[in-house]
Structure 1
Amino acid sequence: MKKAEKVVVGDWRITSMEMWDADYFDMEVPAHITIREDLLGEFQFGLVQGSLDARVSVSAGVARVEFSWEGGDENDPASGRGWMEVKGDQAKGRIFLHQGDDSDFTAVRRSSQ
């Protein structure tokens, strides 16, 4: 595994979102994004959940993961894309719902894998 991939692998706790407050994003489970060593993973915030497929790059010394995802939004099929930049145990990014909302988010590493 490349060094940049090791930086993004882990379980990330979403701590804030631009579009939704914690009452929504932590509604069912603590909001999170998980990225495994195979660069597949999953996420959930509020009633939105999905499986993701990621790619990692480095720009200006910062590891960046870009991903596509598919899953559901309130039991309706949903898909989209997103990105996350990682600095140490802190991350920031943006998630997009295809033909729907998008939101910035911040996250902290819960554990590495």
Structure 2
Amino acid sequence: MTKLPILAALAAAFLAQPATAQPASAPRTAVVAHADLDLATHKGVKTLDRRIWRAVIAVCGTAPDYDLEGRNDVRECRRDTRALASAEAEQVIADATRARPIRVTTRAK
């Protein structure tokens, strides 16, 4: 008896399974504290920018070099997330007396 009919039946059964939809990924958040920074100075603003970038990397994650689509997704996540966080940071810098942490959150897909 050959194994070919058995393998063909298994392949047909596997391919006949309905595809399951992947749930949308929930936004991930990191909090960037800045109460210890003097945002009225260039040094304070640069330090805040570095903290935001580290938070962006943390919430967007990384992808292996061989996963081109994953790397593109990470790049897009970082771009969009940084833009959102930078907009919030600009508001905080404009009102440097406000001591509220900045939330860095990815967009839900």
Query: Please, what TM-score do these two structures have when normalized by structure 1?
Result: 0.25
Q: Name whichever structure is richer in strand by fraction.
A: 1
Higher relative contact order (CA 8 A, sep 6+): 2
Larger Rg: 2
Query: Please, what TM-score do these two structures have when normalized by structure 2?
Result: 0.26
Q: Name whichever structure is richer in helix by fraction.
A: 2
